[in-house]
Amino acid sequence: MGEGTTGTSAAPSDDRGHAAPRFELLGPLRAFRDGTELPLGPPKQRAVLAVLLLQEDRPLSYEGLVEAVWGGTPPVHVRNLVQKYVSGLRRALGPGGPELSWTGAGYRLTGADITDLRERRRLVDGALAARDAGDIRRAVELAGRAEELWRGEFAEGLHAPYLAAERLRWAEKRLTVLEGRLAGEIELGRSFEYVHELVRLVAAHPLRERLTELLMLALCHAGRPTDALTAYEAARKRLAEALGADPGPALRSLHQRILRQDPDLLPLPPVPVP
């Protein structure tokens, strides 16, 4: 669950007292200055901004920007469009930064604070550290707070090849953290509470074996081993039909443990709240 793309850690102001805007990408792209949302312009201009934000202060060449936003078939007047959108972003961001400049290496956006990505990284890192220290309750709490930062899909509504790839990458990150939280909830004896959520998630991601594994564990710890075996068989059929593959070793091992009536899969008492 290593994280990247965090921005700076504070919102500075210039010598005239203008606060720098804070950006959010875990959902539709938004920017705020002093609590007021900034108008960022039309969708392609916003896509240019999102791409530059994700460079983390690194310059991006003109050709790289065009490829990221329009792909291999840009419009005829794309150079004029790039200049138009860059000028529009400079006006929208206004005084106080971040600075959008042209360097010999390309366009560079410096001093941008992507607050939700920064906060998410802090929470996910904290959850991992808590789990490593054996504090499952704290790990679950922090992972849950990281999930609450999401307002929709990553850079939702912005259409650009680079952002489409980033959207897939961040969807994977989101699911990985969710799986970690649900594993912790099961360890804390809360299987009854999360069986329905896991059923929904397996339906939404039918080929994701880790979610099926967690559903099977939750069903066993909720005293429903027969339903866990049914969930395994359904997953086996889905994988065979979609991929021509058998379940992976984790699912197969859990299936065998259920058949052997492994005592470690008996219902778990809830961990008492301190």
Angle ∠(48,50,51) on CA atoms, nearest 5: 65
Say which range, 33-37, 77-81, 200-204, 227-231, has the weakest mean pLDDT. Answer: 33-37
Look up the pTM and report it.
0.86
Residue 104's pLDDT is 87
Q: Return mean pLDDT, the chain.
A: 91
Give residue 273's pLDDT band: very low, low, confident or very high (50, 70, 90).
low
What average pLDDT does the segment 173-194 reach?
95
For the four alpha carbons of 54, 57, 63 and 65, in that order, the dihedral sign comes to positive
CB under 8 A, 24+ apart: contacts of 85-90: 85/41, 85/44, 85/45, 85/48, 86/48, 88/41, 88/45, 89/40, 89/41, 89/45, 89/48, 89/49
* Amino acid identity at 99: E
SS (H, E, C) 122-191: HHHHHHHHHHHCCCHHHHHHHHHHHHHCCCCCCCCCCCCHHHHHHHHHHHHHHHHHHHHHHHHHHHCCCH
Phi, psi of 30 (to 5 degrees): -135, 155
∠ Cα 252 236 240 (to 5°): 125
| pLDDT at res. 271 | 60
Report pLDDT for 88: 96
CA 142, CA 120: separation in Å to the nearest integer? 9
Q: Which residues pair with 23 in a beta bridge?
A: 31, 114
Report the pLDDT averaged over residues 151-169.
Answer: 97
